[in-house]
Amino acid sequence: MEEIFNEYNTNALLKKLDEDLKKTLSEKRYNHSIGVMNKAIELAKIYKVDINKAKLVGLAHDIGKELSKEEKLKYVTENNIEVDEIESINIGLLHGKIGADICKKKYGFTKDMQNAIAYHTVGNKNMDLLAKIIFVADKIEEGRKYKDEEKLKRLDEARKIANENIDKAVLYEIDMSLEYTLKKNELIHPDSIYTRNKIIIDFE
């Protein structure tokens, strides 16, 4: 039977998680995690998603982010985490899967919470509302600042869309990410394309 996260055990787990993250993340990454948690709570209220889960996942989503390349490779090997071709080249993408596994084993996160962490890097066509909220909150949390006026305008637009339609917000963020990745001539993970196509098909 999966854990039910009520206010009491959520607060206890948040305290433990917060203590662990302060020890393992840089100040900048920790502050980002707090920002994502706060934005996830905000969006969870709009879309009627479990706020306790949104809090925990928002805070924990980058728990594996600052492991070194060697540590990431060691972790996926020792924990039998499947690595696809793109992830084997862009090791940084693995922090979602690693974070999901850490949170399952160390904090008892439920499957939907694990998926939300695993999917927040490139998306997934099977994302539920919680996963979509974390995916978007990661991109629009209030700590995000840009000096570039065009990027700032896009961030404001993304925040506006997120409050109105979470699917359109996911699509908007994927499109911006694809544009950026193409300009840099970098590899695109197919899950981003599958996610984009699924949302567009569902709109039709």
- Predicted confidence at residue 3, as pLDDT, reads 62
Cα(122)–Cα(125) distance, rounded to whole angstroms?
A: 10
Tell which residue, 48, 44, 174, has the closest CA to residue 120.
174
Q: Could you list the beta-strand ranges (E) of 93-187.
A: none
Cα(165)–Cα(130) distance, rounded to whole angstroms?
A: 14
- Predicted confidence at residue 6, as pLDDT, reads 78
| Buried residues in 65-95 as b, exposed as e (16+ CB within 10 A) | bebeeeebeebbeeeebebeeebeeebebbb
Give the residue extent of every domain in the chain: 7-203
Mean pLDDT in residue range 72-99 = 97
CB 90 within 8 A of CB 187: yes
Cα(163)–Cα(43) distance, rounded to whole angstroms?
A: 7
Tell which residue, 129, 3, 140, has the closest CA to residue 54.
129
Q: Which pLDDT tens digit goes with each residue over 18-63? A: 999 999 999 999 999 999 999 999 999 999 999 999 999 999 999 9
CB 179 within 8 A of CB 160: no
What's the CATH code, domain 7-203?
A: 1.10.3210.10
- Predicted confidence at residue 1, as pLDDT, reads 40
Which string of DSSP letters, residue by residue, matches 38-75? HHHHHHHHHHT--HHHHHHHHHHTTTTTTS-HHHHHHH
Q: Which pLDDT tens digit goes with each residue over 139-169? A: 999 998 877 888 889 999 999 999 999 999 9
Mean pLDDT in residue range 127-146 = 95
Tell which residue, 118, 107, 96, 100, has the closest CA to residue 3.
107
